[in-house]
Amino acid sequence: MTSRLRTAHQFHPVVAYGDAVGNDCFELQRMFWASDVRSDLFAWEAKPEVRALVRDWRDLQRLPDDALLLIHHSMGNDVLSEVAKLPQKKAIVYHNITPAEYFSGLNDHAKRYSELGRAQLKELASVAEFGFADSEFNRQELEAAGLKKTAVVPILYDWEQFDVTPDPDVAHRLADERTAILVVGQILPQKAVHDVIAAFARYRRTDPGAHLYLVGSTAMSADYLGRLQEQVRDAHLTKNVTFTGSVNTEQLVAYYRGATALLTLSDHEGFCVPLLEAMRSDLPIVANAAGAIPETLGDAGILLADKSPDAVADALERAVGDQRLREELVARGRRRLEDFSRERVRERLRDALALGGYELPEERKKNVVVLSSDQRCGIHHYSLGVCDGLRKRGHHVTFVGVRHLDTADLEKKLRYIRDDVDTILIEHEAGIFRDVPFVDALFRLRRRGFPIVLSMHELEPEKFHHYRRLSSALHYRPRYRGWLEALRTPWVALRMSDWFIRYRTVLALMGGIPERLVVHSRRSARWLELLTRR
């Protein structure tokens, strides 16, 4: 018997933009919210680009005991044991952990946390009700850790972020290449980049104009990068191999679209997102049959049981030179990509949640009102961008613009809002609404039963009218002599108290009435917590 899922909060130790696990967190959150399931993200560390979207992990203690908490696990972390002790119902989302031996002699820190992560997986399995992994390979590890109820739910990918204009400089550079072999992933031993270089050296015997692009971060490469560069020099490939380091999305897309084939010879992969990106880019794939690669790739590429230089070179020759095979691999890739569509992943997620007795509600498109400035300014254009993003996701959106500091116009626009609206999103910054009329408007919207999301831009005390009056009163200067000034002092103190109470009341109401508050910087978040106690 299943019950309707109402909350599915998520925790991952580190959440970052562009990271495969971080992206999966956000895409799951998007899917949950579309089904009217509350899903907040919690992290021990949130990178700057996503900090405004992620709550501190200590806030998990405030969740009700019957809330469902999805714990994403991909590496050991010092706070995971504390999270495991929380009273909420738990499920594991397992993304695999790179075995510690790959870090031996290279990165002692990563080696220690890899070992810790494996131990913590068993600890989490002992307290979780169920779990799911993004591949069968990972699911088997989850099951081996002691969790009985397990399922496979592939990683969700937001192709809207991938379908961007390619970086022109990278595109121009690759346009001049006869053959561009692409490798995407961090420069680490488990990615077997040393095998890639050896195989590429062998391949160039039949294609001397080929160029190898190694696209990925070298931040954790340590001595491994130096060994690879020495290998490149010894093979006389300095002009034919490029280590790009980290790249942005536009550059990554340009590499995919300009390359001739994708090559991956990894010894360990829990899923391998670059395979999907290559399929999306109509790029033929040559891959080593290790870890989860065979199940992710399916029949959409050339799968290698032997990754000796001769075998890899032979496969590359076919993928590059056989036009009929290239077209067939591209067509297979397009078909294979359908297995990772949003609709199919949602079906797998629904089945996985059923293991824990939860029913995932059907997605419902919402009727949203975005309320903000009607003047051509930064927040106005930002609000229109929010409207466009919501419409792309299928929601019906109405933008309501209000003249700055015009209480009568605000009251008139509020009367136009229909009763069938699901949510009101208010994009607010100083100078748009007067403080007291705005709080009154929040009260009236709440009385009509509208859930309110208040998005606060530039939340600093000096932006508020009552604070400025208080600040002015605090600049007390004696004006009279003797007993006259003594009589004036209590009046000044009374004014200060009055403005402080008004200021604090406005902030408390502004923070307490909306269903949800959103800020856009760490500084604003600190003020929000201080002034509203939220």
Contact 118, 98 (CB under 8 A): no
Tokens linked to 244: 């790009």
- Alpha carbon distance 516, 102 (integer Å): 44
* Over residues 478-506, mean pLDDT: 63
* Over residues 257-283, mean pLDDT: 97
Considering only residues 391 and 298, tell me which one the structure prediction assigns the higher pLDDT: 298
pLDDT at 379: 87
* Over residues 437-447, mean pLDDT: 90
Tokens linked to 112: 């220690």
Contact 175, 215 (CB under 8 A): no
User: Which of 138-152, 153-167, 186-200 shows the lowest mean pLDDT across its residues?
Assistant: 153-167
HEC secondary structure over 191-213? HCHHHHHHHHHHHCCCCCCEEEE
Which of helix, strand or coil describes residue 217?
Answer: coil
Work out the burial of residue 65: count CB atoms within 10 Å of its CB; fewer than 13 is exposed, 13-18 middle, 19 or more buried: exposed
Percent of the chain with pLDDT over 90: 70
- Alpha carbon distance 239, 259 (integer Å): 17
The answer, yes or no, to whether residue 254 has pLDDT greater than 90, is yes
Tokens linked to 525: 């978040």
Tokens linked to 71: 């714990």
DSSP letter string over 380-400? HHHHHHHHHHHHHTT-EEEEE
- Alpha carbon distance 20, 530 (integer Å): 34
**Confidence band (pLDDT; 50, 70, 90) for 244?**
very high
- Which tens digit of pLDDT belongs to each residue from 18-72? 788 999 999 999 999 889 899 999 999 998 888 878 999 999 999 999 999 999 9
* Over residues 445-462, mean pLDDT: 81
Work out the burial of residue 487: count CB atoms within 10 Å of its CB; fewer than 13 is exposed, 13-18 middle, 19 or more buried: exposed
User: Which of 175-179, 360-364, 461-465 shows the lowest mean pLDDT across its residues?
Assistant: 461-465
- Reference 216, options 179, 187, 189, 241; nearest CA is 187
Task: Give Cβ neighbours of residue 154 (< 8 Å, ≥ 6 apart).
Answer: 134, 135, 271, 339, 340, 345, 348
Contact 70, 37 (CB under 8 A): no
Tokens linked to 451: 């859930």
Residue type at position 60: L
User: Which of 81-85, 104-108, 351-355, 356-360 shows the lowest mean pLDDT across its residues?
Assistant: 104-108
Tokens linked to 269: 């992969």
- Which tens digit of pLDDT belongs to each residue from 165-183? 999 999 999 998 999 999 9
Which of helix, strand or coil describes residue 507?
Answer: helix
* Over residues 380-388, mean pLDDT: 90
Contact 517, 442 (CB under 8 A): no
- Alpha carbon distance 174, 254 (integer Å): 8
- Which tens digit of pLDDT belongs to each residue from 495-528? 666 656 666 666 666 667 788 877 776 666 665 6
The answer, yes or no, to whether residue 534 has pLDDT greater than 50, is no
Tokens linked to 413: 């626009």
Q: Which domains does the chain have, with CATH numbers?
A: 3-156 (3.40.50.2000), 160-340 (3.40.50.2000), 367-532 (3.40.50)
For residue 276, give Cα distances in angstroms to 88, 110, 135, 451.
34, 27, 13, 38
